[in-house]
Amino acid sequence: MKEPIVSALQIRNAGERIKPYINRTPVMTSASLNKLFNTNVFFKCENFQKVGAFKARGATNAVRSLSPDSLMHGVATHSSGNHAQALSWAAALAGTKAYIVMPSNSSPVKIEAVKGYGGLITFCEPTLSSREETLQKVIEKTGAIEIHPYNDTRIIEGQATSALELFEEIPFLDLIIVPVGGGGLLSGTALSALHFSSDTKVIAAEPMMADDAFRSFKSGTFIPSVNPETIADGLRTSLGSLTFQVIREHVSDIVTVSEESIVNAMRFIWERMKIIVETSSAVPLAAIMEQRIKVDGKRTGIILSGGNVDLSNLPW
Amino acid sequence: MKEPIVSALQIRNAGERIKPYINRTPVMTSASLNKLFNTNVFFKCENFQKVGAFKARGATNAVRSLSPDSLMHGVATHSSGNHAQALSWAAALAGTKAYIVMPSNSSPVKIEAVKGYGGLITFCEPTLSSREETLQKVIEKTGAIEIHPYNDTRIIEGQATSALELFEEIPFLDLIIVPVGGGGLLSGTALSALHFSSDTKVIAAEPMMADDAFRSFKSGTFIPSVNPETIADGLRTSLGSLTFQVIREHVSDIVTVSEESIVNAMRFIWERMKIIVETSSAVPLAAIMEQRIKVDGKRTGIILSGGNVDLSNLPW
């Protein structure tokens, strides 16, 4: 097998680099869930991370990897989700600017959140080509460094630190289940498992309605999603070239789940565990509840990716 | 000053007695809250307690304090809230029965919850006299031991263990703020502060719309609430004789808050801390946000009393 794109040392260094800025998130369990499925599930709570999502890890690692000279003109990305907030927050904390290109139809809640963290927004048409063109213009004008939401080794290293912490705290996991959108968290987790917990199988869970990773993984050819409508809005993006490569090589399986089971799993976590997670975070538990992944008698890790929810607009 | 009704040893013994059955709940903080008020607030998360509320502590202590002979015929109470669930759960875990008298207009969610924990329900008219009469009949028929929701030293000892754990983990608190309904949690906390953290001021927060504790405390005479309508449904009960006595002697102050600020504080906790707390739990933070209690530069403990919420019926 060829050398993985991120080494154990790079992940450990990322962990040290971001440590002063991020939260070491707690691991929680649910006695009722464990009883129901005769299992042991350990939830790594990135909903308690800074800015409410694991994205704070990758964004901080990317920003803090830049030299002072590179950082001077700021960082830039196109995103309407948690990466936009995370990059704005990480840039402000490092004393620089974040230029965020957002589609004009982004929700007001998300626009306000980015502004709240100090991000400087440029609006564009809600198409991928407009997003990319607008970002190029912003970069030419400002000299900012682009930080892609997931197709970037600095981002992947940062996201890998969540699983690293989980493996440190909970050894001997039989498997770890992670939601997959662009694949930053999944490829980071797969590389952490490879380096630090090689007996742990890495399985991805994806909404059936945005199953590009599933189809790409099964066919061995990159197949993007076209305007997927899943309720798990953090998982609507398609894989990138780097993340697809890591996933092909180091992920055991990808399973898909229905919209209904995502909502049921989310509500289960809210009601029984008394914590707030966003729809995307509920996808791995949905895979267990739908019995797409058998956990009977096993030790399973799940990364709860985030907790940013519009409380005035819940899916039940 | 005369001897307090519960000694340090009794609280420590209660802690040991209930330890195998309850959760040692985590303490959480909110960087954004601390920044906003230039303060340090430590939240003791009883929403993560068994049955979703601190009531599991008192109920377990009461049940486990009984001799096998006394326990044989079960335990009984009248309650429509978390105590009914907690007693049902604690009794089942100890291998005995819980007879719960509930008003016929109790919410279906609460009735189902009590049944789910194995409680045997007898319905009564929704008046205090009917509740008490029905409970007496149940006790005569079954020989069950009555466990009052708060006016009972075994319950007070159990509720006191939450603050004991908080003081162990977070020393040098300047104050601790607790919601007050019947006063079990408040009197337990006041006794724990007296014995284990005597420099910590104990302050109660109460909904203005159910201000019997405030009026009783200020006047020195017991004044019950009459059908209070506050949204904080866990705090609609009036003080008991035992809890009023402890509160008069060992609580520094009681402040009241508006309904609007309770909802705002609850939403703040959900949005910023990503945890689910019930309305009653938000009352101490409401007191801070309304500036009824000054926390500038101070170290403040807050007991988040519970997390049992009907997710289909939120107050926003």
Could you report the predicted ipTM of this complex, rounded to two decimals? 0.94
pLDDT at A221 (0 to 100): 96
What is the nearest CA distance from A308 to chain B, expressed in angstroms?
8
Helix B82-93 to helix B108-116 angle, to the nearest 10 degrees? 10
Sort out which chain B residues have CB atoms less than 8 A from A281's CB and list them. Answer: none
Does the CA dihedral B178-B183-B189-B193 come out positive or negative?
A: positive
Using an 8 Å CB-CB cutoff, list residues of chain B that contact chain A.
26, 28, 47-48, 52, 267, 270-271, 273-277, 307, 311-312, 314, 316
Sort out which chain B residues have CB atoms less than 8 A from A267's CB and list them. Answer: 311
Query: Where along chain B do its domains lie?
Result: 8-53+152-304, 56-146
pLDDT at A226 (0 to 100): 86
Q: Is the pLDDT of residue A2 over 80?
A: no
B8-17 pLDDT per residue, tens: 999 999 999 9
Angle at B212 between CA B126 and CA B261, to 5 degrees: 95
Q: Is the pLDDT of residue B190 over 70?
A: yes
State the pLDDT confidence band at B35, using cuts at 50, 70 and 90: very high
Which range among A199-203, B200-204, B235-239 shows the weakest confidence by mean pLDDT?
B235-239
A75-78 β-sheet, strand order: A120-124, A98-103, A75-78, A145-146
Selected from 3.40.50.1100, 1.10.3730.10, 3.40.50.300, 3.90.550.10, the CATH number assigned to the domain covering B8-53+152-304 reads: 3.40.50.1100
pLDDT at B80 (0 to 100): 79
Q: Which residue has the tokens 């800074």?
A: A50
Contact assignment for A275 to B276 by CB distance below 8 Å: yes
Q: Are B45 and B292 in contact (CB under 8 A)?
A: no
B75-78 β-sheet, strand order: B120-124, B98-103, B75-78, B145-146
Q: Same topology for domains A8-53+152-304 and A56-146, yes or no?
A: yes
DSSP assignment string, B247-307: HHHH--EEEEE-HHHHHHHHHHIIIII-B---GGGGHHHHHHHTTSS--TT-EEEEEE-B-
B27-28 β-sheet, strand order: B27-28, B40-45, B299-304, B175-179, B201-207, B253-257
pLDDT at A109 (0 to 100): 84
What is the nearest CA distance from B43 to chain A, expressed in angstroms?
14
pLDDT at A81 (0 to 100): 86
Query: Mean pLDDT, to the nearest integer, of B194-206?
Result: 98
Which range among A47-56, A76-85, A285-294, A301-310 shows the weakest confidence by mean pLDDT?
A76-85
Using the CB atoms, write b or e for B124-135: b if 16+ within 10 Å: beeeeebbeebb
A45-58 pLDDT per residue, tens: 999 999 999 999 99
Tokens standing for B18? 């209930």
Query: Mean pLDDT, to the nearest integer, of B16-39?
Result: 97
What does pLDDT average to over chain A? Answer: 96
B256-309 pLDDT per residue, tens: 999 999 999 999 999 999 999 999 999 999 999 999 999 999 999 999 999 999
* DSSP class of A45: E
**CA A119 – CA A122 distance, rounded (Å):** 10
Query: Mean pLDDT, to the nearest integer, of A5-28?
Result: 98
What is the nearest CA distance from A312 to chain B, expressed in angstroms?
7
pLDDT above 70 coverage of chain A, percent: 100
pLDDT at A1 (0 to 100): 61
Q: Is the pLDDT of residue B2 over 80?
A: no
CATH T-level assignment (fold) for domain A56-146:
Rossmann fold (3.40.50)
pLDDT at B109 (0 to 100): 84
Which range among A76-85, A134-143, B152-161 shows the weakest confidence by mean pLDDT?
A76-85
Q: Is the pLDDT of residue B1 over 70?
A: no
A142-165 pLDDT per residue, tens: 999 999 999 999 999 999 999 999
- Cβ-based neighbour number of residue B138 at 10 Å: 22
Choose the mutation target among B274, B276, B277, B310 for the interface with A, i.e. most A CBs under 10 Å: B274
pLDDT at A176 (0 to 100): 98
Helix B8-18 to helix B184-196 angle, to the nearest 10 degrees? 120
Q: Is the pLDDT of residue B311 over 70?
A: yes
pLDDT at B108 (0 to 100): 87
**CA B9 – CA B153 distance, rounded (Å):** 13
| Entry pTM | 0.95
Count how many residues are written for chain B. Answer: 316
Q: Which amino acid is at A133?
A: E
DSSP assignment string, B80-113: SSHHHHHHHHHHHHTT--EEEEEETT--HHHHHH
Which range among A56-60, B47-51, B102-106, B210-214 shows the weakest confidence by mean pLDDT?
B102-106
List the beta bridge partners of residue A143.
none
Q: Is the pLDDT of residue A66 over 80?
A: yes
Contact assignment for B311 to A47 by CB distance below 8 Å: no
What does pLDDT average to over chain B? Answer: 96
Closest CA to B268 of B34, B90, B61: B34
Q: Backbone phi, then psi, for A237, in 5-degree steps?
A: -75, 160
Closest-approach residue (CA) in chain B for A309: B271
Q: Which residue has the tokens 């994806």?
A: A206
